Amino acid sequence: MKDILEGPQTRGQTRRGVVGAAGGVIGAALLAACGAPVGSGEEAQKARQPVNLTTNIQSPASTQWGAYEAADRAIREKYPWLRMEYQGGSSSSFEAMGKLVALAASDSLPDMFYAQGTQIQFYISKKIAVSMAPYLNRDKAFDLNDFPKVAIDMYSRGGQVYAIPYDHGPQMLWYNANLFKKHGVQPPTSKWTWNDVLEAAKKLTVEGQQWGIVNNGPTAAWIMPSYFGPWGGSWVDDTETKTGINGANSVAAMQYWMDLFFKHKVAPVPGTTQGDLYLEGKAAMVFGGPWSYRGWIGKLSFESPIADWPIGPAGKRISASMGSGYPISVNSKHRDETWLYESELLGKDMNRSVMGQFVKTGFGTPVRFSMMKQFEKSEFAMPNVQIVAPAGSYSVIGRPISPIKLDLDKVWSEERAKLLKQEVSVKDMLDTVARRIQPFLDQNKGWDATK
């Protein structure tokens, strides 16, 4: 297997200076490095020898395929020699992560692959994603400052970026405006607290017919800061070597979420219902990222605005953010050409960028600020869409992102199952979790996403 293409050291430089920006229009220097004739005219492009690339990020079976197909067609019109084969097969499962490592060992990875946010640090550690610093430093039009900082930080290690996100956002509150109006409940505002959520859920619950809220509560993975942060609690700290999961604030937070199920009975116990209760109009509130709306277009029979994540008892509005990004693989024999394609796919051109196609089709929510401004004016924008971009101000990385995430998720899932069966108390469950994950946290000492 090839070694990772190392980029320049960036410690101490500004974010803009480190990665600069590289964009939809690749400079002559990069084209020359790719073996292209210097010059960007149509004849120069036609003279290029064909380059065939592969990716697993999407397939024609994807619900977003229309946007990708349109962007790919526009890229091929500009670069007729550059072809990308969309093979599909992307997944955020543990099994898929292991499969990619095995493919890398056999030199079989596609040129560009899929990484859900928390996966990227695993792929960096396994040395199957290459640093994009050489490309970002060389090209000056891509502009990483057009992306939320929290999104770029998630895909970075040691000051170098290893993937570019195509979507990203925090958990937010969605609500059925029709049900709120029917029951005379005032809709969520930017001042809403979690107590307001509970009180509204009580008024909106109709036994046997309708739930005030539908959500599974803390389920590990990336969402934990959303559920504990507003109370001042924590899952793991920024070094990912300490936990506050059994501290008083975390216990209070967990008790709130369990009380929604068992005490107030305003939310169904996870695993006891079937179907999409929110989409069916049987739940008044649900949690999800800005990307949730793309799956509802054409299916909603009610108005569904998006609202800010509520403020917690600690006076904090904190929500974990997540998305997906595209790294270049260590196996790629055409890294420069892969970057050329990716810089167009995630660039600013309304036709060649898949984010531009999101604006046109509604098949996704753009992560770029500039594209989001265009999306806000589109027919596909969700009600209250103007609050989505500013929500980045209270977004945090959904930790853990280090490889111990897999072990911590497993422990949480096992102990949470006992709590949902009411076999243990909240405090006992969290004490057990803290004890079981401590060895993994101890092993993680020395890991640092900035190194």
CATH of the domain at 341: 3.40.190.10
Residue 391 lies in a domain: no
Query: Are 197 and 107 contained in the same domain?
Result: no
441 by Cβ neighbours in 10 Å (0-12 / 13-18 / 19+) ranks as buried
Query: Are 315 and 436 contained in the same domain?
Result: yes
Residue 408 lies in a domain: yes
Residue 103 lies in a domain: yes
Domain termination site, one of 363, 384, 405: 384
Tokens encoding 281: 């109009």
Percentages helix, strand, coil for the chain, rounded to the nearest 5?
40, 10, 45
Residue 372 lies in a domain: yes
Residue type, position 426, single letter = V
The whole-number pLDDT of residue 11 equals 30
Residue 4 lies in a domain: no
Tokens encoding 308: 């800010």
The whole-number pLDDT of residue 190 equals 95
Tally of domains within the chain: 2
The answer to whether 90 touches 113, Cβ cutoff 8 Å, is yes
The whole-number pLDDT of residue 295 equals 85
- Whole-Å CA distances, 412 to 245, 415, 418, 419, 433: 11, 5, 10, 10, 6
The whole-number pLDDT of residue 448 equals 65
Query: Are 282 and 380 contained in the same domain?
Result: no
Query: Are 121 and 96 contained in the same domain?
Result: yes
Query: Are 141 and 213 contained in the same domain?
Result: no
- pLDDT tens, the chain, 451 aa long: 333 333 333 333 333 333 333 333 334 444 444 444 444 567 777 678 999 999 999 999 998 999 999 999 999 999 999 999 999 988 877 788 889 999 999 999 999 999 988 889 889 989 999 999 999 999 888 999 999 999 999 899 889 999 999 989 999 999 999 999 999 999 999 999 999 999 999 999 999 999 999 999 999 888 999 999 999 999 999 889 999 999 999 999 999 999 999 999 999 999 999 999 999 999 999 999 998 988 888 899 999 999 999 999 999 899 999 999 999 999 999 999 999 999 999 999 999 999 999 999 989 999 999 999 999 999 999 999 999 999 989 999 888 888 788 899 999 999 999 999 999 999 999 999 999 999 999 998 877 655 5
Query: Are 192 and 225 contained in the same domain?
Result: yes
Residue 370 lies in a domain: yes
Domain termination site, one of 384, 413, 434: 384
The whole-number pLDDT of residue 426 equals 98
Q: Say which residues have a Cβ less than 8 Å from residue 56's Cβ, sequence separation at least 6.
A: 87, 88, 89, 90, 110, 113, 114
Query: Are 290 and 439 contained in the same domain?
Result: yes
Query: Are 315 and 242 contained in the same domain?
Result: yes
The answer to whether 217 touches 261, Cβ cutoff 8 Å, is yes
The whole-number pLDDT of residue 400 equals 87
Domain termination site, one of 384, 404, 431: 384
Residue 390 lies in a domain: no
The Cα 282–Cα 305 span in angstroms is 16
Residue 235 lies in a domain: yes
For residue 376, the enclosing domain spans 15-168+323-384
Query: Are 23 and 131 contained in the same domain?
Result: yes
The whole-number pLDDT of residue 75 equals 98
